[in-house]
């Protein structure tokens, strides 16, 4: 009888173990399922500001043909600019060098007022097409003779330059094209006209960068050399 009782207990324990192992495991009621991993989307790159876009724009390269011209005095506060450049705007800065006296040159700073159909009284004999602008004098002066305007000298004028003009001992110089070397200015007369020139160094001994001729239509005392006008 005791053996039968032990056998019955053993069978009962075995059945309970089998039922427990075969039953599916259940997650605890208070454990929430883990969320699925989300893919991170990269932030878009910020658009460049207007200031940054301006910095990205390439600087206009200085050209002697389109950034240098001639300027005549119309009054003590106004000038006429003649230049082979159709793209100047109101407020553009212009510097004018009067180089008729090589040892006492004068500087006038001005700004563009507006574009004109024509201005000035002299005949500018150049190969390329020219355009006319009125200028307002900002600083500087010249001994202007309104009664004898045809005798007033013509200045060498330039735009698009950020370097200050150096006026030392009456001689003007400035690095126009940004190559680290200063340009110099010269004006001389032929039999009936004026030759304006810009040089890469001292006039007549360096490379001539720019030349402009003005027909005065009256006799003058020649002061030019062949280097002033010959190619």
pLDDT digits (tens, 9 = 90+) for 81-93: 999 999 999 999 9
Residue extents of the structural domains in the chain: 63-228
What residues does 172 pair with on adjacent strands? 167
Q: How far is CA 77 from the centre of its chain?
A: 27
Three-class DSSP category at 43: coil
Average model confidence (pLDDT) for the chain?
A: 80
- Alpha carbon distance 82, 68 (integer Å): 9
Backbone angles phi, psi at 148, to 5 degrees: -125, 55
Q: How far is CA 150 from the centre of its chain?
A: 36
- Window from 74-88, 134-148, 157-171 with minimum mean pLDDT: 134-148
b/e sequence 67-100, b meaning 16+ C-beta within 10 Å? bbbbbbbbeeebbbbbbbbeebeeebebbbbbbb
Over residues 103-128, mean pLDDT: 91
pLDDT for res 218:
86
- Alpha carbon distance 122, 221 (integer Å): 18
Res. 15: pLDDT tops 50: no
Res. 158: pLDDT tops 90: yes
Res. 30: pLDDT tops 70: no
Alpha-carbon distances of 111 from 18, 61, 79, 80, 226, rounded to whole Å: 103, 20, 10, 11, 34
pLDDT band at 61 (very low <50, low <70, confident <90, very high): confident
- Alpha carbon distance 162, 113 (integer Å): 19
pLDDT in tens, 180-231: 999 999 999 999 999 999 999 999 999 999 999 999 888 889 999 999 999 8
Residue, of 171 and 76, whose pLDDT is higher:
171
């Amino acid at each position: 009888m005791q053996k039968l009782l032990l056998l019955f207990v053993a069978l009962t324990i075995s059945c309970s173990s089998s039922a427990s192992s075969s039953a599916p495991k259940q997650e605890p009621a208070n454990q929430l399922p883990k969320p699925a991993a989300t893919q991170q989307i990269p932030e878009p790159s910020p658009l460049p500001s207007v200031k940054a876009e301006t910095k990205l724009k390439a600087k206009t390269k200085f050209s002697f043909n389109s950034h240098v011209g001639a300027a005549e005095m119309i009054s003590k506060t106004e000038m006429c600019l003649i230049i082979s450049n159709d793209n100047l705007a109101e407020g553009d800065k212009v510097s004018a060098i009067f180089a008729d006296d090589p040892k006492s040159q004068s500087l006038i700073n001005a700004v563009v007022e507006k574009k004109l159909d024509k201005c000035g009284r002299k005949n500018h004999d150049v190969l390329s097409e020219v355009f006319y602008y009125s200028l307002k004098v900002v600083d500087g002066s010249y001994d202007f003779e309104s009664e004898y305007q045809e005798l007033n000298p013509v200045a060498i004028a330039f735009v698009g330059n950020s370097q200050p003009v150096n006026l030392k001992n009456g001689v003007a110089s400035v690095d126009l094209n940004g190559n680290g070397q200063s340009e110099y200015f010269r004006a001389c007369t032929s039999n009936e006209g004026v030759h304006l020139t810009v040089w890469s160094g001292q006039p007549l001994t360096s490379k001539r960068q720019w030349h402009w001729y003005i027909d005065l239509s009256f006799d003058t005392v020649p002061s030019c050399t062949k280097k002033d006008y010959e190619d």
